[in-house]
Structure 1
Amino acid sequence: MSQPPDAPLLLVACSGGRDSLALAAVAHIVCAAWGLRCGAVLVDHQLQEGSHEVSWHAAEQCRELGLDPVVVVPVTVTASGQGEEADARASRYGAFVETAQQYDASAILLAHTANDQAESVLIDLIRAAGTDALAGMPDHTSVDGVLFLRPWLMDVTREQTTAMCQDLGLHWWDDPTNGDHIAPQEPLPAAYPLRSRVRHTLMPEFNRFAGRDMVSRLVAATRIARRDVEYLNAQAASLYDEAVHMALPTPAAPGDDGARDDECVETLAELDVDALREAPEALRFRVLDQALANCDIPHGSAQIEAIDQLICAWHGQRPVRVAKHYSALRWPHVIRLCKDKGHANRRRAGHHRP
């Protein structure tokens, strides 16, 4: 039964893989029962030979399932220096957002499963550290005002989506970079994406070592960690509003109020030392991380710790060089995040010295 044209629309992000095809089939049934429209958006990254045919074959299966509209969006993946996987993800989400806005979709459904959640924890622990790494992916998020939902993240496994596709006669596509064609007992070469190597090699070995299903264990851990992270984020957001003042229009004036640095040519943010010093360390670090990110200043945990020393262990030390052209310097009761080009000015001035 077709839904009214003004009924809310949900779009399934479909890659042609087993997870997203199974989600398209189930979402169509559930949406029909709830009086919602259900469509699909497929992104052709054009990175592999035959990608066009894969997208259109998956789109045809979505249409046969009854989804409408079904939109195929070709994109050009632009290299940013972050790696092809990250660049493809940025292009994909950009296409999702544009399509959702074009069709006035209420949300986009992503087919991440419990397996994806468990793999994400291991990947984040390899790449980073901290509570956020243990929290995995959230079940919902917003990108440029578009709501993304992951309905299968905590409960549905890849084995179950495979069985769904087999029962429904759906023909899925396996990305060759997943390494499914390589025997399970053979580790994937380092040339394969990290997620593929975690899925193919690390997770099965983890299960064997532990003697149990570590996917369910890791997913259970993310439920607890996500709860804690969301609480910390809410508390940090309140502290951020109190302690951080962004985008000051007036450049810093060297020498004012005890300034120790003569290179700050533009103040990007001011941090209230008194408000931050009295806060728990867990919240301070989150606020500092968010402030640096909002100023587009590259940073890591070492830079955050150094700025925290300006707040809590101030003894007149020199400003912290956060990244090239960026510094954090302390006035009596303020930390200024500054854009710094003084060293370049000195180099230019040096050419005029006698």
Structure 2
Amino acid sequence: MAEILTPTPPLSTQWLAHRFDPIHDAFQFVSVDRVHRQSVPFLTDEHIGSAAEPLVIARSNVTGLIDMHRPLHYIFHSAYCCSTLLVNALDQSGSASGLKEPVVLNDLVGWRHRGGDPTKIAEVLTSTLGLLARPFEGTEAVIVKPSNAVNGLAAAMMTLRPNAHAILLYAPLRTFLTSIARKGMWGRLWVRELLSLQLKDGLVDLGFSPPDYLRHTDLQAAAVGWLAQQKLFSQLAARWPSRVMTLCSEELTASPITAVEACATFFGLATNPESYPNNIEQAFNRDAKDGTVFLPGQRERTQQNGEALHADEIDKVMVWAQAVAATADVPLFLSNRLLRTRAV
């Protein structure tokens, strides 16, 4: 580990709070400028490179970098729902800067799962959110899109930042299952890893006993994870009806300009509306993960081809999942909708 710096050196806002080390009670900062942050799909070691040379600062010495009054908002999501595209579209100089899945929040989840003291974790989470809220320009808001492995901390994140608003973005269940099925082994492995995290967070309350999860097929496990997130999202929307709005990915892709402008209004962003069409065209015409350009209708054809290939399995799991949802009182479509019309 690099030397822990004391006192805190002056840090420009391009220094990102990247990791937290609970053993040394210290943050690791890496230098990532705005262009780099915008160009990568996630703020992980794989994509930001400079994480190999961090500045390590004790948590007790970062208070001068924290301003709890800076505007900070969230996009919580269920995965494979265009959340990265939405952050890219909202990221606009002078209006908002986006943070796509900062790893420091995942560190706190891992610490929690290893039995960390909840009071200490809450203290560190407070500091973490204050560090992430540092904008590139003075009046900008910061929009954090955590990994969906962080959803178990969503209620705490809303509580600790009482002025924060949140968009809950999700794909319809059938769309989600199709995305998992067409990704093959890696998609199926990922949903089982996610489910294991949700079980540790106590988010899965659908009437199953522990042995049941071993009997589920991969797509059943995917559906259980989706339903657990949907139940959590429903609870968040009910708890903070004025601060939490929901958005379905089908609505987002059907009317991206309308959806992005509605998000900007809800977050109270200082925007230049004329710039959004260009932002949206750049964001939604490319694959968020690798930057390749989408041909007209390519997304729809990819989804349709994947669904056709796995139709029998998806049909059966849909019937089963709808029965589970009805029994557990989980809505397949969420209330508190950001947009008044539904494209699904």
Same fold per superposition (TM over 0.5): no
Larger RCO (alpha carbons 8 Å, 6+ apart):
2
Q: Which has the greater radius of gyration?
A: 1
- The TM-score with structure 1 as length reference comes to 0.30
- The TM-score with structure 2 as length reference comes to 0.30
